[in-house]
Amino acid sequence: METTLRGVGVSHGVAIGEVRHMGTAVLEPPAKQIPAEEAEREQGRARQAVEAVAADLIARGNLAGGEAQAVLEAQAMMAQDPELMADVERRIAVGSTAERGVYDAFAAYRALLAGAGEYLAGRVADLDDVRNRIVARLLGVPMPGVPDSDEPYVLIARDLAPADTALLDPALVLGFVTEEGGPTSHSAILARALGVPAVVALPGAGELVEGTVIAVDGSTGEIFVEPGDDKRASLEQAAAARKAALAASSGPGATSDGHKVPLLANVGGPADVPAAVEAGAEGVGLFRTEFLFLDDSKKAPSEDKQVDAYRKVLEAFPEGRVVVRVLDAGADKPLDFLTPGDEPNPALGVRGLRTLLDHPDVLRTQLTALSKAAEGLPVYLEVMAPMVADRTDAKAFADACRDAGLEAKFGAMVEIPSAALRARSILQEVEFLSLGTNDLAQYTFAADRQVGAVSRLQDPWQPALLDLVAASAEAAKAEGKSCGVCGEAASDPLLACVLTGLGVTSLSMGAASIPYVRSTLSKHTLAQCERAASAARAADTAEDARAAAQAVLSGE
């Protein structure tokens, strides 16, 4: 019998196939005591397992490239954390086996993070995956992960660790569904980069029976269990129509009446550039530079290394616009040489621009490297600061750019509600705004972007969030400056129309989403987008906002 479930759609497309479940987590190892003379041998086993897992994560990252590489290298650093390893060896010295020492040491660190109010929930999930991989190696059992199958399937999991998501084979994994996660989780972002339909935050996903046929609509978040012939046909027809529309869509982003909306790509480094170019990106709207700094959490990369990486991206978009975000460290992206380790609330502490202003040498080196990377290139370089709270922050960043001799536009990210509310003041110091809707939602609704239980508050259709977008866009228009969106909200084709109607001047997203957004925008006039935006803001819930915009744009 056909039934319908609903989660949060995070990656476009339709997948129909049999359910396969992610390999189960490693069982808790027994708590048995070892003789004192075996402690040194067990400590050696633990060190070897840790190094092997770290090497495997780095190798997976090298294969995946781009954002996935940065995430996996961060996990490898977790595995090799010297304090964790010291705790493991201490536990073994007093009688634990290697596997039990690892299990208990990671559990203690996990409890410490969870006690911070789960602001580091995404890091906790990654930590669990590292622990499971080390313990599995010590126990000699298969690693938890993607099931073996010769036939394509839909993957079901409680959550997907970055190490699993990064190397999914789209030829076998038709789509995936998770119980946890949210629209801005690591897995969601990587799914969009892969172009795999995905739905997250689906309660009871783990109860779907192995082998059951389901249909996954990654746009609406709907899951159809045992879909009938009519439902299959309608979904396949819609998917075919969408594919045809994408194939017919090309060129710069614009509404049907010619209002230009540049469509830019979010990239994590040179490895992400080919997909952006192939998708027809008109430039880069968010160059996340953190990946360079994750190679070594103990020190910043050299100026020469930075110049090389930045230039590779800039060269890919001659005459195009490339917007670089300076290092956004802190919270779920800690770096030993920059971020304090004892903050009770890291997401509300010293992160982003606050960190860089505390370490002006790191900021100056990055700005100098960007200046050198752009020398002689016909690219339009723009540089923006993360986590700008007010005009004082904006001025400090603009001054730093000028002091470094950077010939580029200086901008501010709007990720904190205060920046949206005082956008016109901030624009007295900088030349453009870029809305990071992921963090803006997190801080507007006090809802951690990595926690599935509050994913409804991370929905970019929330009317309060749309109000803040509108306030920022109106301020930019009044000042004769630009206001783009570089958060994941831009990847939703329907929402892209609404953002355009709110006055946003450019949209930046994962490369895989660009054709969908281009095609949808080209079907509607600017006036229709403006009416859809007004209808969405008049609603009281995210669901009603989406429905209201859909009704306007479909002519209902």
Whether the predicted pLDDT of 118 surpasses 60: no
Confidence (pLDDT) at 242: 73
Q: What is the rounded CA–CA span in Å between residue 221 and residue 229? A: 20
Residue 246 predicted with pLDDT over 90? no
Share above pLDDT 90 across residues of the chain, in percent, rounded to a whole number: 56
State the SS3 of 33-46. Answer: CCCHHHHHHHHHHH
Q: Is 379 helix (H, G, I), strand (E, B) or coil?
A: coil
CA angle (549, 192, 7) in 5-degree steps: 60
The pLDDT of residue 122 is above 60? no
The one catalytic residue among 486, 497, 524, 529: 486
Instruction: Pull the structure tokens for residue 221.
Output: 């978040």
pLDDT (0 to 100) of residue 116: 47
Answer for the pair 345, 119: CB distance below 8 angstroms, yes or no: yes
Lowest pLDDT segment from 284-293, 357-366, 463-472: 284-293
Q: Is 259 a catalytic residue?
A: no
pLDDT of residue 529: 98
186 is catalytic: yes
Rounded (to 5) percent helix, strand, coil in the chain = 50, 15, 35
What confidence score (pLDDT) does residue 322 get?
A: 97
Which residues contact residue 153 at a Cβ distance below 8 angstroms, ignoring those fewer than 6 apart? 17, 18, 19, 20, 147, 172, 173, 174
Specify whether the CB–CB gap between 347 and 406 falls below 8 A.
no
User: 518, exposed or middle or buried, with CB in 10 Å at 0-12, 13-18, 19+?
Assistant: buried
Integer Cα distance of 154 and 15 in angstroms: 7
Site of tokens 């195009």: 320
Q: What is the mean pLDDT of residues 266-286?
A: 91
Predicted confidence at residue 369, as pLDDT, reads: 97
pTM to 2 decimal places: 0.71
Beta-carbon contacts of 123 under 8 Å, excluding residues fewer than 6 positions away, are 78, 113, 332
Strand 8-11, strand 432-435: pairing:
unpaired
Candidates 500, 462, 544, 541; CA nearest to 182 is 462
In Å, how far are 50, 65, 362, 370, 386 from 299, measured between CA atoms? Answer: 22, 22, 10, 19, 20
Mean confidence (pLDDT) of the chain: 88
Q: What does the pLDDT look like over 64-89, one tens digit per residue?
A: 776 677 778 878 888 888 888 999 99
Is residue 101 within 8 Å of residue 46, measured between CB atoms? yes
Q: Which of 11-15, 99-103, 263-267 has the lowest mean pLDDT?
A: 11-15
CA 285 to chain centre: 14
pLDDT of 19 strictly over 90: yes
User: Which 8-state DSSP code applies to residue 58?
Assistant: H
Question: What pLDDT was estimated at residue 26?
Answer: 62
pLDDT digits (tens, 9 = 90+) for 299-332: 889 999 999 999 999 999 998 999 999 999 876 6
- Let me know: does 2 contact 224? Beta carbons within 8 Å: yes
